[in-house]
Amino acid sequence: METKHQLALVVLIILFTCPSLAFAQKKKEIREAGIKQKVEWRYKYQNEKEIKYKEYEAQFDKQGNILMEKNYDEKGNTVKHIEYKYDGEGNEILQTTFNSKGEVLERVETTYSNGFKVEKKVYGPYGKLKSRKVFEYK
């Protein structure tokens, strides 16, 4: 019985430390359900009054890939906006983050070879390379 609890604990630790594993299942569920958009509403209560506002919005393609995410403040202003692009294999190749004014904050380009991620480049707001990560497989 103790072994089952230890195994369950290990699985939970993996899921919490590797959110991409947990997201993969959600991506499949989103695709199978045909979901195109997700909206999260926040309800706050002040002086016995309910205040409702859209806090988050996401759009998905037919494969369940996230295309766009937006975070909003209480007044409905966009706080953060992220757009994603994918290759024909469903690999994320571009992630662009915008500020509240729609200006590019960061662009992340990912390159693949034979289905494996080989390079990730991060560019700043003016297109200047900030960092680069290379993946090697043996």
Every domain of the chain and the residues it spans: 1-33, 35-134
CA–CA distances in Å: residue 48 to residues 4, 9, 12, 44, 51: 47, 42, 39, 10, 10
What confidence tens digit (pLDDT) does each residue in 74-115 have?
999 999 999 999 999 999 999 999 999 999 999 999 999 998
Q: Degrees (nearest 5) of the Cα angle 117, 123, 128?
A: 135
What confidence tens digit (pLDDT) does each residue in 38-75 have?
999 999 999 999 999 999 999 999 999 999 999 999 99
120, β-bridge pairs: 110, 133
